C-alpha cells in the first residue's frame, strides 16, 4: 500500500505548492523538511494521545531532532474521539460534564439550559456523523449584528502557527429564545440552506472543516483559490455568485459562506446541481457523507 509520503513525493510541484504553506515549501523542496516532520503528537493524560498536522515551527523542530538523531515520541494506537450520548441538560453542570466527556473545552459560559441542550445536540450529531468536532467552544452574552454563532480562527502569518480557533455561540441571540419560529422565517426567506435545527452550528462546523483543508493566508480575508486570491466578499465572477445563490442567499455573500452553507445543506441531506458541487470542490469544500437526500430547489 502506498504511504502518504510516497503519494506526496509523486505529485507535481503545482500540487505540492497548493498543499504546503508558502513559507515552508522551499525547505520541503530542498529536503530540509520532510512531510513526516509535519506529523505532530499531542499527549494528554486525560484524553490520550493523538496525531495532528503540526505547525511550521513544530515541523522545523522535528526536523532538527531528526537530523540530530533524536528518537521522536510514538504512540501504539490513537483512538478516535468517543461519541457520548447527549443527556438531558438541566443545569450548567450537566452541560460541562457532557462537553468534557467529548473533549470539548468550554469558556465564557452564558445562556440558558435550553441553549446548552441545542448546542450539545448539534455537537453530538456532528460527532456521530463525522467522528470529530472543534475542540474549543465559547458562549458570549449579546449578539454581534444579530449573529447566532461564529467560527473564529487566528494564525501567526509569519510562522503559520495556529494561535486559536473556536466556535462562538451568541447566547442572547433571539434565535436561541425561539429557534423554531426564527429558523422558519429565515429558511422561508431563502437565507439558510436547510431547515435542520442544528443548522447555525453545522454552518460553523463547515467553516472549521474548510479551514483544515485549504491553503490560506488569513481566514475570511484572502483565500487562495485556483491560483488567484479572492477577497472575503468576491467570487471573482458573476457566474459563480449566481451558482452560489442556488444554495442560499447567505451562501451567495462570499466564498467562505458558500462553503459553510453548502456543507450544512449537504449534512442535512440536500443534494445540489453539478455546477454547485463543482464550485464547492473548486473552493476546497470538505467531503460530506449524505443521508436521506433531498434535492434543494433554487430560490
pTM higher than 0.85 for the full model? no
- pLDDT for residue 279 is more than 80: yes
The confidence score (pLDDT) of residue 65 equals 81
The confidence score (pLDDT) of residue 237 equals 84
User: How does residue 80 score in pLDDT terms, banded at 50, 70 and 90?
Assistant: very low
Q: Give the tens place of pLDDT for each residue, 202-221.
A: 999 998 888 877 654 443 44
- pLDDT for residue 46 is more than 70: no
**204: exposed, middle or buried (Cβ count in 10 Å: 0-12, 13-18, 19+):** buried
Mean pLDDT of 16-43: 74
Q: Give the tens place of pLDDT for each residue, 130-188.
A: 888 999 999 987 655 568 999 988 767 677 677 788 999 998 888 888 888 888 889 88
The confidence score (pLDDT) of residue 204 equals 95
Mean pLDDT of 234-242: 86
% the chain with pLDDT above 90: 29
**249: exposed, middle or buried (Cβ count in 10 Å: 0-12, 13-18, 19+):** middle
Mean pLDDT of 20-32: 77
Please tell me the distance from the alpha carbon of residue 260 to that of residue 182, in angstroms, as a whole number: 20
- pLDDT for residue 243 is more than 60: yes
- pLDDT for residue 82 is more than 50: no
Q: Give the tens place of pLDDT for each residue, 52-67.
A: 666 777 788 888 887 8
Grid cell locating 125: 450529531
Please tell me the distance from the alpha carbon of residue 45 to that of residue 51, in angstroms, as a whole number: 14
The confidence score (pLDDT) of residue 219 equals 39
The confidence score (pLDDT) of residue 157 equals 67
Q: Is residue 246 within 8 Å of 271, Cβ to Cβ?
A: no
| DSSP annotation string for the chain | ---HHHHHHTS-HHHHHHHS-HHHHHHHHTTSS-GGGGEEEE--TTT--EEEEPPHHHHHHHHHHHHHTPPPP--S--PPPPP-PPPP--SHHHHHHHHHHTT-EEES--S-HHHHHHHHHHHHHHHHHHS---SEEEEESS-STT-SEEEEEEE-TTT--EEEEEEEEETTSHHHHSHHHHHHHHHHTT-SS---TTHHHHHHHHHHHHHHHS-EEETTTEEEETTEEE-TT--SSHHHHHHHTTT-TTGGG-HHHHHHHHHHHHHTTEE--HHHHHHHHHTTPPP----S-EEPPP-
Mean pLDDT of 7-30: 75
- pLDDT for residue 15 is more than 80: no
Please tell me the distance from the alpha carbon of residue 227 to that of residue 206, in angstroms, as a whole number: 22
Q: Give the tens place of pLDDT for each residue, 112-129.
A: 899 999 999 999 988 888
Q: Give the tens place of pLDDT for each residue, 248-257.
A: 999 999 888 9
Q: Is residue 263 within 8 Å of 288, Cβ to Cβ?
A: yes
Mean pLDDT of 105-111: 87
% the chain with pLDDT above 70: 74
The confidence score (pLDDT) of residue 64 equals 84
Using alpha carbons, list the distances in angstroms from residue 256 to 38, 106, 124, 216.
Answer: 26, 25, 24, 12
- Going from N- to C-terminal start, the domains of the chain cover 4-68, 81-177, 186-299
Q: Is residue 136 within 8 Å of 107, Cβ to Cβ?
A: yes
Amino acid at each position: 500500500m502506498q504511504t502518504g509520503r510516497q503519494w506526496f513525493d509523486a505529485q507535481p510541484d503545482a500540487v505540492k505548492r497548493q498543499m504546503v504553506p508558502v513559507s515552508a515549501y522551499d525547505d520541503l523542496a530542498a529536503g530540509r523538511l520532510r512531510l513526516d516532520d509535519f506529523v505532530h503528537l499531542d499527549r494528554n493524560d486525560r484524553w490520550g494521545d493523538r496525531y495532528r498536522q503540526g505547525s511550521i515551527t513544530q515541523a522545523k523542530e522535528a526536523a532538527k531532532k531528526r537530523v540530530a538523531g533524536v528518537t521522536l515520541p510514538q504512540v501504539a494506537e490513537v483512538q478516535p474521539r468517543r461519541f457520548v450520548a447527549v443527556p438531558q441538560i438541566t443545569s450548567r453542570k450537566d452541560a460541562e460534564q457532557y462537553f468534557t466527556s467529548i473533549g470539548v473545552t468550554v469558556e465564557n459560559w452564558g445562556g440558558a439550559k435550553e441553549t446548552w441542550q441545542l448546542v450539545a445536540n448539534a455537537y453530538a450529531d456532528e460527532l456521530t456523523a463525522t467522528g470529530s468536532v472543534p475542540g474549543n467552544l465559547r458562549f458570549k452574552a449579546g449578539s454581534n449584528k444579530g449573529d447566532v454563532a461564529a467560527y473564529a480562527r487566528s494564525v501567526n502569518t509569519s510562522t503559520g502557527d495556529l494561535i486559536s480557533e473556536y466556535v462562538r455561540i451568541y447566547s442572547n441571540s433571539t434565535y436561541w429564545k425561539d429557534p423554531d419560529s426564527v429558523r422558519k422565517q429565515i429558511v422561508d426567506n431563502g437565507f439558510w440552506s436547510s431547515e435542520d435545527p442544528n443548522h447555525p452550528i453545522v454552518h460553523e462546523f463547515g467553516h472549521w472543516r474548510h479551514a483544515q483543508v485549504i491553503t490560506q493566508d488569513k481566514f475570511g480575508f484572502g483565500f487562495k483559490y485556483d491560483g488567484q486570491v479572492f477577497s472575503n466578499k468576491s467570487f471573482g465572477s458573476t457566474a459563480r455568485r449566481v451558482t452560489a445563490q442556488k444554495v442560499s442567499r447567505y451562501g451567495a455573500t462570499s466564498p467562505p459562506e458558500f462553503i459553510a452553507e453548502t456543507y450544512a445543506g449537504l449534512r442535512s441531506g440536500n443534494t445540489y446541481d453539478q455546477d454547485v458541487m463543482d464550485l464547492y470542490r473548486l473552493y476546497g469544500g470538505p467531503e460530506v457523507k449524505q443521508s436521506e437526500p433531498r434535492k434543494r430547489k433554487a430560490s
